[in-house]
Chain A
């Protein structure tokens, strides 16, 4: 059974003139225990999509979807309150800039304690307080912080970025979620710390069978840690498939360009040669092209591309392009 199944999810920005589709009919499916990467340039709507799933977008955005199933439940039919109850119980999210995501005036311990689910506690309120404290310490141990006494008493500004991110993960684990959405969890972190955070996430996935949606702009880094990858460009769905499919045989010209743009050890690149890049840059929200939004930058674009392509499925490798690169392999 699919853990989450989203079909044609759109996110509109309400403006004075006409609404802008910041995310335009994106599909996303995840199975239990899967680690899926969500890749795209900055501004491609990955974070928006994640925030729409968790339901923390503010009023200027409007979310709409044809299908939004959570473990077989149709969430679109439920009221916002019921939806929030289900989502907050089973889905947790960690953000980029972990230090900004912790309340600067409250100690780590207090913030952890309030994240602990009240249903896990038993007994009278004084017993519950003790249990909450213990639960917070256990959570810190789970994310590999051994000096819990120091950590519980300190404030966010006294910890490093990587430690803050661990605390954020600990808070996310408090409700024992089935899906953890990690929105660029290692942005602006050193590579040693990056590795630690990714290893922690991978071990959580393996030990607790927790699914992870890993959002990143760095295709290469994500490939080490994910089973499947979804690629987005400028708010549109581009391609989805297993990591090997996406990385070795991309069908979409955009994915192809992404893969080619990162240097790899096993590929021969002549000295001082330019890396492959697409001309131009990602369009701004006010001037989105019609049809396939990659159109103006795409090397294979033809007249047909002013109409949005339908998603084609090749053995669970989905691609949204009129002229997929399917024939160039084989």
Chain B
């Protein structure tokens, strides 16, 4: 298990190094002066620029410049946004929690619904439920997100008026940010309208979460279905049948865990996809997350923000990947120890 952890950690470090290399090279590739792209200081006087150039080792070679960039990154200095002239780090810290909240809830919802439904389809293989689920999965997967989002707003917030259409929480409530994650902050606060606020925040969360979760949920359905079919075809299921276990015992005790292990590997891969969907959804639902901010920065040619947002979002995706890897190892005894010769 220690070796497993060390392997994941080294993978993490090298991937992050490559990412910083990409982001550093972006400052050269974007139009304009490289130093200004890197720092975002559009209105700096020549004296200030000279100080900055010294700060970023501009008089030395590229390698030294890269290391000074890394040094700045480690201290949390990602330059200033070209639009707002606020530090990127503060901007990101203000917005990232909202995205984390949205994507994590959406991922959980997608797994919670997608995987059991997929198992169901496999159990009723080639019968009516299976065909029905496959059709729904195909439909759900092919609907474009922005269209679905706008449609959801049109139906549920405008026509029916059930759910709010924009924002994270009603402006009536004032919540002290502690962790940044709104739902947790509400529960931590000692406001007397705490529960109303919690209800309101949940109501705001429902529509965007459904829109984000739909496509991944359908993918999980199909993955879970194939995984379950594969497992049901194995020798150990046949042996369990010969042992005299009932069908439900076989499903609950043996098939589900093995199928879940197969699915969980792909959940990490789907998470990057989910983030992309979440970025679009944030724009539609005016969700104050990092995705909307990044898309706006792209519109406004805010090169510093693009570099910073890229690093932060990719790191987030990677951390989730590693967490899922650990869940996989916890469930699968085969993954925990190194094989002789293999891997």
Interface set of A (CB-CB < 8 Å, partner B) = 51, 54, 56, 88-89, 92-93, 95, 97, 100-106, 114-115, 155, 157, 168, 171-172, 174-175
Does more than half of chain B's interface fall in helix, strand or loop, or is it mixed?
A: helix
Q: Which of B2-10, B147-155, B251-259, B289-297 contacts A (4 or more CB under 8 A)?
A: B251-259
How far, in whole Å, are A150 and B241 apart by their CA atoms in the complex? 26
A115-B333 contact, Cβ under 8 Å, with A56-B238, A103-B258: no
* Residue contact B333 to A155, C-beta cutoff 8 Å: yes
* Residue contact B242 to A105, C-beta cutoff 8 Å: no
- Count residues of chain B with CB under 8 A from any CB of chain A: 21
How far, in whole Å, are A95 and B235 apart by their CA atoms in the complex? 9
28 cross-chain CB contacts under 8 A:
A51-B238, A56-B242, A92-B242, A93-B242, A95-B235, A95-B242, A97-B235, A100-B234, A100-B235, A100-B236, A101-B238, A101-B239, A102-B239, A103-B254, A103-B258, A104-B333, A104-B334, A105-B334, A106-B254, A106-B257, A114-B249, A115-B244, A155-B333, A155-B334, A168-B239, A172-B243, A174-B243, A175-B244
* Residue contact B235 to A171, C-beta cutoff 8 Å: no
Residue B245 CB within 8 A of the other chain:
yes
* Residue contact A171 to B243, C-beta cutoff 8 Å: yes
How distant is A86 from chain B, measured CB to nearest CB, in Å? 11
* Residue contact A115 to B243, C-beta cutoff 8 Å: yes
A104-B258 contact, Cβ under 8 Å, with A155-B333, A157-B333: yes
Residues of A with C-beta under 8 A to B253: 103, 106, 114
- Chain B residues 257 to 282 lying within 8 A of chain A, measured CB to CB, are 257-258, 261
How far, in whole Å, are A89 and B240 apart by their CA atoms in the complex? 14
Residues of B with C-beta under 8 A to A100: 234-236
How distant is B77 from chain A, measured CB to nearest CB, in Å? 46
Residue B331 CB within 8 A of the other chain:
yes
How far, in whole Å, are A88 and B239 apart by their CA atoms in the complex? 12
* Residue contact A56 to B241, C-beta cutoff 8 Å: yes
Residues of A with C-beta under 8 A to B238: 51, 56, 95, 101
How far, in whole Å, are A88 and B246 apart by their CA atoms in the complex? 11
How far, in whole Å, are A145 and B131 apart by their CA atoms in the complex? 48
Residues of B with C-beta under 8 A to A93: 239, 242
* Residue contact B334 to A157, C-beta cutoff 8 Å: yes
Residue B226 CB within 8 A of the other chain:
no
* Residue contact B249 to A101, C-beta cutoff 8 Å: no
How distant is A45 from chain B, measured CB to nearest CB, in Å? 17
**Nearest 7 pairs of A and B residues by beta carbon:** A88-B244, A101-B239, A100-B235, A93-B242, A155-B333, A101-B235, A56-B241
Residues of B with C-beta under 8 A to A104: 236, 258, 333-334
Residues of A with C-beta under 8 A to B236: 100-104
Kindly identify which residue among A89, A105, A175 contacts B332, using a CB–CB cutoff of 8 Å.
A105
How far, in whole Å, are A104 and B240 apart by their CA atoms in the complex? 12
Q: A95-B238, A104-B236 are in contact. List 17 more A-B contacts (CB 8 A).
A: A51-B238, A88-B242, A95-B235, A100-B234, A101-B235, A101-B236, A101-B239, A102-B236, A103-B254, A103-B258, A105-B257, A105-B332, A114-B243, A114-B253, A115-B244, A157-B334, A174-B243
